Amino acid sequence: MNWIMNILIITFILLGLIKETFSQTGADAKALKEKIFVTDGYDYKIRPQQNQSAPIDVYINFYLLAINELSEVTETLKTTGYLWILWQDDFLQWNASDYGNLWQYFWPQGDVWRPDIALKNSFTDYKALGVDTLNVMVESTGHVQWYPFQVFQSTCAVDITYYPYDIQTCKLEFVAWSYSKAEVNLMSGAKGIDLWEYESNSEWEVLDTNYTTEAMTYEAQIVFTIKIQRKPTYVLLSVIMPIIMLAILNIAVFLLPCESGEKASYAVTVFLAFAVFLSIISSTLPENSDTIAVFSMYLIILTLESTLITLTALVLIRVSTFDQDGTPVPRLLMTGLNFLTCKSCCCKKKNKVKDKKDEDDIWSINKTTIEEIPCDDETKPEGTWRDVVNAFDKIFFIFYILVLAVSTVVFFVVVSTNKG
């Protein structure tokens, strides 16, 4: 589509050139300048309206070229774009046939009156639009068209509640700063906010745009709204995946036997890696106390889990030394653990299978006799502290995996159902 547009534009420009070069001479242009700025005494400081008590209608379109960056930390949106601004200047009119059909001319923007439009919610200082070397296009009818091009840095209240599936609505508020609504009337052009030259961004997708001219303010204003949605793939792969992997590594501490002597250092090392990683991530999120991101809650839960895992591992190491002290294992604890780790029920099941096979198939007698496992646990529930620690390792491994799985699933369900 773009190349068709380009060809059309080039054709129009060429046609325009042919038309302009028709009969115009440098003398015509000089005469026109003489007429407007010397004879008529055009002054850019005067609002160009014959009737000074009527407002001047200014039409604005915003052409968004690119979204450069949305910073969550400073809460700013950086966009590149240009405005198309049109108004009627009563003092910049001439009869084209008097000047060799010179029907349009470009004047430096500083030479003609312009509405002092500026970005109100700018993150930087108040800055006039455009630069002095930029020209405005003036037609013999008095229509002035101005295309100030700029990088706009606007403030944008970033709501990261549903990070990384968040949708942000940012505004660009343009006001005619020193004119009241009765003097300058800002209106939207036919396009409003236009995306036909927009270059897509790898991080953000534009969902919707809109504009409004209703304002509660003294000065006229036009507000362009851009609704963008984060593409979550990068965050999922480079932030959330490593966190989940570290959390799994952390839980793997319960696979290490206490005798290896590595359990404590392993738990603390993974906890440290986790803590460092989390502090890096939290520095990329805004310091916001109004809303707490679901993602932050998830991180807090994971940090809590990691702390508890480290604590549990340390306690278990301590417990594993009780055997040397000769402390007996309480019978109730052992029975409870056997029940929890399902030792007795597994044993029962196996015996049952054996019995069944006996009835069906006489050939299985030999096989099952070999497979038969003695059920020590049922008959002797007392064991060593070593067994207690092993049982707890199993229980905690499963427990923490469950906590991780549930919190991860809940996090993704809450966050990905965000509809903005």
Ligand X SMILES: *[C@@H]1O[C@H](CO)[C@@H](O)[C@H](O)[C@H]1NC(C)=O
User: Which residues contact ligand X (rule: CB under 6 A)?
Assistant: 51, 53-54, 95, 97-98, 208, 210, 212
Helix (H, G, I), strand (E, B) or coil at 306: helix
> What's the closest the beta carbon of residue 246 comes to ligand X, in angstroms?
42
C-alpha to C-alpha distance for 251 and 255, rounded to whole angstroms:
8
Tokens of 109: 């923007």
Task: Closer to ligand X by CB, 74 or 101: give it.
Answer: 101
β 167-180/219-230 pair status: antiparallel
> What's the closest the beta carbon of residue 212 comes to ligand X, in angstroms?
4
Task: Closer to ligand X by CB, 23 or 210: give it.
Answer: 210
C-alpha to C-alpha distance for 178 and 166, rounded to whole angstroms:
37
β 167-180/117-119 pair status: antiparallel
Task: Closer to ligand X by CB, 2 or 95: give it.
Answer: 95
User: Burial, 397: exposed, middle or buried (Cβ in 10 Å; 0-12, 13-18, 19+)?
Assistant: middle
> What's the closest the beta carbon of residue 99 comes to ligand X, in angstroms?
10
Task: Closer to ligand X by CB, 224 or 392: give it.
Answer: 224
Neighbours of 309 (CB within 10 A): 26
Task: Closer to ligand X by CB, 6 or 210: give it.
Answer: 210
Residues 174, 119: contact at Cβ < 8 Å?
Answer: yes
Residues 47-73 as b or e (16 or more Cβ within 10 Å = b)? bbbeeeeebbebbbbbbbeebeebebe
- Residue 285: which of 408, 162, 123 has the closest Cα? 162
Number of H helices, E strands in the chain: 12, 11
> What's the closest the beta carbon of residue 123 comes to ligand X, in angstroms?
24
Task: Closer to ligand X by CB, 56 or 389: give it.
Answer: 56
Task: Closer to ligand X by CB, 182 or 346: give it.
Answer: 182
β 56-71/184-194 pair status: parallel
> What's the closest the beta carbon of residue 24 comes to ligand X, in angstroms?
15
> What's the closest the beta carbon of residue 183 comes to ligand X, in angstroms?
11
> What's the closest the beta carbon of residue 53 comes to ligand X, in angstroms?
5
> What's the closest the beta carbon of residue 174 comes to ligand X, in angstroms?
15
C-alpha to C-alpha distance for 176 and 87, rounded to whole angstroms:
13
> What's the closest the beta carbon of residue 46 comes to ligand X, in angstroms?
16
Task: Closer to ligand X by CB, 51 or 202: give it.
Answer: 51
Task: Closer to ligand X by CB, 188 or 201: give it.
Answer: 188
Q: Give the DSSP per-residue string, 144-157.
A: EEE--EEEEEEE--
> What's the closest the beta carbon of residue 17 comes to ligand X, in angstroms?
23
Task: Closer to ligand X by CB, 110 or 420: give it.
Answer: 420
Tokens of 20: 């302009």
Question: Can you state the angle between helices 364-371 and 343-360, rounded to 10 degrees?
Answer: 170
Long-range contacts (CB closer than 8 Å, 24 or more residues apart) made by 49-55: 49/90, 50/90, 55/181, 55/182, 55/183, 55/184, 55/185
